[in-house]
Structure 1
Amino acid sequence: MNTLNSPVGRPLDRVDGPLKVTGQARYAAEFGTPDLLHGSVVSSTIACGRVRRIDSRDAEALPGVVLVLTHQNRPAIASYDEPYEDDDAAEGSPFRPLYNDRVLYSGQPLALVVAESLELARHAGSLVRIEYDSEPHQTDLLAVREQAHEAPAETPEPRGDFASAFAAAPHKVEQEYVTPVEHHNPMEMHASTVHYQPGGDLLIYEKTQGVQNCQRYVEDVFDLKGRIRVLSPFVGGAFGSGLRPQYQLPLAVMAALKLKRSVRVVLTRQQMFTFGYRPRSIQRLSLAADEQGRLQAVGHSAIGQTSRFEDFTEHEVEWSGMLYRCDNVELDYRLAPLDVYTPLDMRAPGATLGVYALECAMDELAYASNIDPVQLRLINFAERNGNEDKPYSSKELRACYAQGAERFGWSRRSMAPRSMRVGNELIGWGMATGVWEAMQMPASARACLEADGRLVVSSATSDIGTGTYTVMTQIAAAAMGLPLEQVEFRLGDSSLPQAPLEGGSATVSSVGSAVQQACAALREKVLDVVQQFPGSPFAGASLEDVVFVDGRLLLKSDPKVHVELGEVVRSNGTLAAEASVEPGEKRKEWATATHSAVFVEVRVDEALGTIKISRVVSAIAAGRVVNPKTAGNQIVGGVVWGIGMALQEETLIDHKLGRYMNHNLAEYHIPVQTDVPDVEVIFVEEHDSVVNDLGSKGVGEIGIIGVAAAVANAIYHATGKRVRDLPITLDKLL
């Protein structure tokens, strides 16, 4: 990649920003056809049982109602009984809407009303009457914790002798931490617009984090190989909710196939609470240290909830075996099936929960040992990943601690709880570490120099608001030495080169590497064409002898010798190259991860118990940052979510009904402007030649990890009260 005036590393504005702010960016529910029909989902009102009867006569009598689709009249779908491909599936039998008369959870889709307008479809849906044979249900994790079974997860094996080391250590912490159900709640609701085309092919506009995953899903379930194209040019947030195809997609496809017409199905805000979520979790941390604060034993057990039909697993406990150096580690992860829908990956899945509990326990150990919380973490710094027994490819976590603490003013902190105040406000300073795996997935990209001199690069990845359009444009522009305005990146189309799901902070590492390699292959083609020119001064030159800069190909030895890239394509025609990349062999010898240190100040009203976050500093080590502006936005967004996790966010369920009570944005509390202070983000310099050729680790997940723990630790420092059940609300604090 050319470094001369390279756009990589610069805080550039989003290339798709003008489209979004002028309303020209179109989302899944905004692509219509003249004959488009609208579907409205009718959901179950019980949590377990059978449908005895569905009476849709009143709905069907309304003029403009075209169909009421149920399990009794849906199209025959042979593959509904067979396994199908889903890149983010959990172990078990995935949910199949309108499969039979069984009710598996409250809110389950039981019918789809299709009408000439959305308003009519929703009104008609209210007229559908469903009779049930109810059965006993259970939706409370705390009630069945003793019945949990071992999770089908790759939990690291125990090492050393945890029990003996824990018993012998002078300083111990053994506590339980509970986190609630949380729902994703992106701004854009899940929607599928299925355009039925002549011959029966389907063009689907979908809210998704993986167009090719949705394409394979529909092809497999409906036996439509080669007849499906999925488009998702813009996504209004997802946070993991778009990793798996949600139920509105097969419902819209069923209706389109049955009616041979185009159909759109958009979920309501309330229905956004009827599929995946971050699961409720019970975690027990057992930490023991010697007199110097060195960890002697680490035990971490977790129980998470799952559905009756799938075992949802995430990486929840293994962070405790890798973040700090310890020879005696015991990890355990179990699942408790309930009459609920299967949980789903949510921003930094597993780590958000597991690191929260670990970092709260580390704060408690700091007080038990009378050691500053930052110092305790430095004492136990791990040069190697203990779970894998591998050294880190890079780990600038010490620099995160140092730079974050300096910017925050941590040295002025007094250790004792309730020792810092301003007037009637108790001041608390807390901190925590964050960690996330630095992944890379197989990916492909295509780069094409068009006749007008523009570079068009494409891959079937997504942009869920993270800045994918922008950073891929920067990577391509740098690789080909072109100004940004001459580069276009295309995504969100299943017909484009293969890309993984956009999640796990792996998009830049995976797709960005493919873009870079596709441009490298294109550079070779350009040089080859130029060398064929009569009397070419580039004859015999290798790629190491030339440089691509400012839309030109130059000889390094004599920069006056150059050729315009536009001239090359005008004389030869369009040039294109495609490349596929996968994790390199050298990664196998190393552990790879992003790290962070989060510092938080809270102010607690001593009389009222109200909590205000007044300062946050987040120091991040994530390798090479392609765009500090979009990356910084990602970190700020993660911090905001972490504040909400600590203080507000909780999906409440009435266990007698097995039904969520606050399934709306009025009662499902999330932070608003006045809840969030200015957040200072520091990107610590970190060089890594192992993770990928870009040296970039990704930042989508790391921003939230550790934030809730830092807030909880700050509240303890302010008040002397340790709350271990999130969110930390007034009633718990008082």
Structure 2
Amino acid sequence: MDRIDARAKVTGAARYSADHKLPGMVHGHLVTSTIARGRVVSMDLDAARAAGGVVEIYTPDHRPAFQGALTGLAAVFAETRPPLADREVHYHGQIVALVLAETVEQARDAAALIRVTYEAQPPNSSFEDAKEHAVSPPSVPGLPLGVPIKEPENVDIKAALAASEVTIERTYEIPPRHHSMMEPHAAVAVWQDGRLTIYSGTQGPAAHAMELSGVLGVEQADVHVISPYVGGGFGGKAFTWAPAMLAAAAARELGRPVKVVTGREQLFTVTGHRAASSQTFALGARRDGRLNAIEHATISQSLGEDPGYRTTPKYYAAPNVHISMKITPGLDLPTATIMRAPGDESGSFALECVMDELAEELGMDPIELRMRNYLESTLKGKLPYSSKHLDECYRVGAERFGWSRRGERPGAVTDGEWQVGMGMATAVLDAGRAPTTVRVAFRPNGTATVGNATSDAGTGMWTVMAMTGARALGLPADRIRPALGDSALPFAGSSDIYGAVGSAATATVTPAILTAAREAIAKLAEHAATAEGSPLRGADDVRYAEGRLTGGGKAVTFGELLTLTGTAEVGAQGTSADLDTTHAYASYAAHFCEVRVNRWTGEPLLSRFTTVVDAGAILNAKTARGQITGGVLFGLAAAMCEEGRVEGATGRISNANLADYLLPVNADTVEFDVHFLDHPDTRLSPTGARGIGELGTVGAAAAFANAVHNATGRRVRTLPITPDKLLA
């Protein structure tokens, strides 16, 4: 099924946050620091205040009121220091002022007139240097970050490695990455009678309302977040950041609507990014390929990027496994946060590359090595998997891709000046769902609404809700009216408050739609039997099927029934059950990649890519294929070109724009071959669907890196894989 929101998006009818214009609205422009460490000594605002149209200027000495700080997961994965909190500067690009004016041009021009004097200090901005002083992370309730696996408890990982017939140790480095979504962070805020309405792009409207209420010191019920369309998030819009906080607080102070749109360069600093990470793997194995020991030591800028615990325990069987994590606190860098498949993307790159290196050491096919160590139950707790067909992914993928034609010796296959290579990698992503509440209601015009306070950040939730509602009610999908992206819509509570994150939205929302539909049908049948004016009034055998009610020998559509009874709607809410914890849940994929590397220029080009996916039931193949394709390209971007570059002397991100921060475009891509096994996982949910939004990016970079090695014999362990590294 085509996306039901597609036409609105491509024609410009879809209204994103910054598209809202309210009467009396003023525009805000952020002023950011030009040093990475130090303090603001003074700010000359005279010229800016005298500029045309300026309404107000907020600074650390005069800021709108904040009553609290971010709590919950936002306190771990977002910037906890309120904007304009004080004169201290902690990173280059930190907000030091907000200029408000009648037009966006006036706000921007006035901001350029502000003169800031700093007392600068040399910044500590080098992750490479900070690795030497990394420390164990703090304990965070509910987050198993950096927890070693010791099962049995007396594992001596060094002894296990020493006792192995074959051992290898490798280190892999990944630079910072930035979300670079199409729609920048933006907010339009207005207060009325003590209640805030804010149009703000967010992956979780209810979470956004909760976080803003805490920061502003008001009840959550007094914050109304509206976000029906989100132009990409990738985790960057999962939590609340300074632009939305400032818009809301300034609107309350001024008594006028306020719009704040973050500039593209500012997005690199004020709204989070993926942390740099360094991972060292030591593998011990028998000569037949069976793993005896896995040691995985990770260093990351923040808790948000934990490649070890999130990745390594989910892939391969080994009797001795130890995972450790350290972080580099105190760096004078912008706040790191979650980004698509946090931990899993970077962890899979290192793990799947080191497995490829072990296969080469053993003289074994990479798929055979993976099958020798196939994980039948979880390493910790020995839980069975709800449904796992990863072995079929390997087999089907190898056949579709033509893996048997791979040159066993690196550099063996050439085509003129091009070296051709194949690589593969595994993708595993935890699957889950949370209880949530959905309201389904019948309307007199023959349509039915399906509402939940989730979000669609491009993941297809508009369409999935319509299709699931249609299935549950026996109606054509074009008669279902989804409602989402609104904090006033139903949700169950804190367990699902974060909306479209963790590749769990579809598995969370669709079971609740089925429950709510059953309740709504029961209410409709009761209404038909009891309502004044109903043709079926008094019937004791009312039945519903495909939009019609029958009973007492009569029949009527629900639209006719509600029209005859003068009823605006009949509906009900339904809440889905919690997840069964007797099994482990995950989605799986096998990636196969072919690259061509120019022997003279070192340019690596993607030529073919096949992904075979085991993600339960596929509810809509078209949107699912788009998610996998986008995810694969997201992961390949890390391998091919993406890299946030920090100047050591200044702490400035030197490529904070879309000209120098390279992203793949159509010329860099190919037609991806995506195949779904489509085995429903009914233990996870009644609809049988598992998450796929982040699955494609997991392992994609490793498949590319392994293919480059097969083509050239060069093993690049520091991303991205660029010509200079291949020619060195």
Q: Does 1:117 align with 2:103?
A: yes
| Deviations 1:567-604, CA, capped at 9 Å, x for gaps | 343345321100122423xx211010001000000011
Structure 1 residue 142 corresponds to structure 2 residue 128:
yes
Report the Cα offset of residue 610 of structure 1. 1.0
| AA at the equivalent of 1:35 | G
**Bigger Cα displacement from structure 2, 494-503 vs 34-43:** 494-503
Decide which of 263, 278, 282 is 2:278's aligned counterpart. Answer: 282
Cα distance in 2 between the residues matched to 1:267 and 1:110: 14
Deviation at 1:202, TM superposition (A): 2.2
> Which runs of 4 or more aligned residues in structure 1 lie more than 6 Å from their structure 2 counterparts after TM superposition?
533-538
Amino acid at match of 2:402: G
Q: What is the match of residue 128 of structure 1? A: 114
Counterparts of residues 107-256 of structure 1 (less than 5 Å): 107-151=93-137, 152=139, 154=144, 155-159=147-151, 160-197=155-192, 199-225=193-219, 226-256=221-251
Task: Give the TM-score of the pair, scaled to structure 1.
Answer: 0.93
Counterpart-to-counterpart distance in 2, 1:93 and 1:641: 25
Aligned-pair Cα RMSD in Å? 2.0
Query: Counterpart of 2:524 in structure 1: which amino acid?
Result: V
* Match of residue 442 from structure 1: 435
Q: How far 1:548 sits from its partner (Å)?
A: 2.8
2:588 matched to 1:595? yes
Determine the structure 2 residue equivalent to 1:504.
Answer: 502
Q: Which residue of 1 aligns with 2:317?
A: 325
Deviation (angstroms), 1:539 = 3.4
Distance 1:350 1:289 in 2: 25
C-alpha distance 247-429 of structure 1, shift in aligned 2 (>3 A):
same
Once the two structures are superposed, residues 4-23 of structure 1 have per-residue CA deviations (whole angstroms, 9 ceiling, x without a partner) of: xxxxxxxx001111111211
Distance 1:312 1:702, change over 3 A: closer
Amino acid at match of 2:513: V
3-state SS of the aligned residue for 1:588?
coil
The answer to whether the Cα contact below 8 Å between 2:71 and 2:211 also exists between their aligned partners in 1 is yes
The 5 A counterparts of 1:676-695 are: 676-695=669-688
- The CA deviation string for residues 160-211 of structure 1, in whole angstroms up to 9 with x for no partner, is 44222211222222100000000000011110111233x3432110011111
How far the C-alpha of 1:252 sits from its partner, in A, is 1.1
**1:5 corresponds to:** none
How far apart are the structure 2 equivalents of 1:348 and 1:512?
22
Q: Deviations over 1:321-371 (max 9, x none)?
A: 221111100101111111112211111111001111000000001101111
SS in structure 1 at match of 2:260: strand
Residue matched to 1:16: 5
Which residue does the alignment assign to 2:34? 45
**Residue type matched to 1:158 in 2?**
K
Other structure's SS at 1:120 match: helix
Distance 1:651 1:523 in 2: 53
Q: Deviations over 1:9-66 (max 9, x none)?
A: xxx0011111112110000001111311100000011111111111111100112111
Give, as a single letter, the amino acid of the residue that structure 1 aligns with 2:660: E
Which blocks of at least 5 consecutive residues in structure 2 are unaligned?
Answer: none
How far is the alpha carbon of 1:89 from its aligned partner?
A: 3.2
Worse overlay, 315-324 or 339-348: 315-324
- Asked whether the 8 Å contact 1:27–1:234 carries over to 2, the reply is yes
The aligned counterpart of 1:8 is: none
Q: 2:25·2:258 contact (CA, 8 Å) conserved in 1?
A: yes
Deviation per CA, 1:524-568, whole angstroms, max 9, x where unpaired? Answer: 223334455788897358xxxx6633x23579xx9x986423234
1:386 and 2:379 correspond: yes
Report if the CA contact (8 A) 1:316-1:353 is conserved.
no
Paired residue secondary structure (1:256): helix
Distance in 1 of aligned mates of 2:683 and 2:717:
38
What amino acid maps onto 2:469 in structure 1? A
CA contact (8 A) 2:536 2:555 kept: no
Q: What letter matches 2:231 in structure 1?
A: G
Corresponding position of 1:35: 24
1:201-252 CA-partner distances (Å, limit 9, x unpaired):
3211001111122212222222222432110111111111101111101111
Name the CA distance, whole Å, in 2 between partners of 1:369 and 1:144.
35
Q: CA deviation at 1:254?
A: 2.3
Partner of 1:608: 601
User: Structure 2 vs 1, CA of residues 217 and 335 (structure 1 numbering), >3 Å: closer, same or farther?
Assistant: same
CA deviation after TM superposition for structure 1 residue 87, in Å = 4.5
* Separation of aligned partners in 2, 1:377 and 1:362: 8
Equivalent of 1:660 in 643, 646, 653 = 653
Bigger CA drift: 24-33 or 66-75? 66-75
Cα distance change of structure 1 residues 391 and 562 upon mapping to structure 2, 3 Å threshold: farther
Residues 355-434 of structure 1 mapped to structure 2, 5 A cutoff = 355-434=348-427
What are structure 1's unaligned runs of at least 5 residues? Answer: 1-11
Q: Aligned partner of 2:295: which letter? A: G
| SS of corresponding position for 2:594 | strand
User: What are the Cα deviations for residues 422-467 of structure 1, in whole angstroms up to 9, with x where unaligned?
Assistant: 1221110000000111021231111110122210111111111111
Q: How does 1:274-353 map to 2 (within 5 A)?
A: 274=269, 275-306=271-302, 312=304, 314=306, 316-337=308-329, 338-353=331-346
Q: Structure 2 residue aligned with 1:513, among 499, 511, 516?
A: 511
Query: 479, 490, 498: which one pairs with 2:483?
Result: 490
Residue of structure 1 in register with 2:625 after alignment: 632
Q: Is the 8 A contact 2:422 2:706 kept in 1?
A: yes
Contact map agreement 1:479 1:519 (CA 8 A) in 2: yes
Give distance in 2, aligned partners of 1:606 and 1:521. 65
Structure 2 CA distance for aligned equivalents of residues 141 and 582 of structure 1: 44
CA–CA separation in structure 2 for the residues paired with 1:534 and 1:68: 65
CA contact (8 A) 2:36 2:332 kept: yes
> Secondary structure in 2 aligned to 1:384?
coil
Per-residue displacement from partner, 1:372-415 (whole Å, max 9, x unpaired)?
A: 00111111111101133211000010111111111001112231
Which amino acid in structure 1 is aligned with residue 485 of structure 2? G
- Matched to 1:213, the amino acid is A
2:49 is the counterpart of 1:56? no
Tell me the alpha carbon deviations over residues 487-508 of structure 1, each in whole angstroms, 9 at most, x when there is no partner. 1001111111125321111100
Q: Structure 1 residues 358, 567: closer, same or farther in 2, change over 3 A? A: same
> For residues 268 and 93 of structure 1, do their structure 2 counterparts lie closer, same or farther at Cα, with a shift above 3 Å needed?
closer
After alignment, is 317-326 or 591-600 more displaced? Answer: 317-326
Instruction: Report the CA distance shift for 1:554/1:395 in structure 2 as closer, same or farther (over 3 A).
Output: farther
Residues 86 and 244, structure 1, Cα contact 8 Å, conserved in 2 = no
Q: Distance in 2 between matches of 1:580 and 1:87?
A: 24
Check conservation: 1:156, 1:387, Cα contact below 8 A.
no
Tell me how far apart the structure 2 counterparts of residues 540 and 116 of structure 1 sit (CA, whole Å).
Answer: 64
Q: Is the CA contact (8 Å cut-off) linking 1:322 and 1:387 kept in structure 2?
A: no
Q: 2:413 corresponds to which letter in structure 1?
A: M
Task: Report if aligned partners of 2:290, 2:373 keep a CA contact under 8 Å in 1.
Answer: yes
Partner of 2:453: 460
Asked if 2 retains the 8 angstrom alpha-carbon contact of 1:510 and 1:582, the reply is no
Please name the residue that 2:87 is paired with: 101
**Separation in 1, partners of 2:195, 2:264:** 30
Name the CA shift for 1:518/1:450 in 2 (closer, same or farther; >3 Å): same
User: CA offset at residue 91 of structure 1?
Assistant: 7.2
Q: State the alpha-carbon separation in 1 of the partners of residues 106 and 637 from structure 2.
A: 37
Residue number among 523, 526, 539 corresponding to 2:524 in the alignment: 526
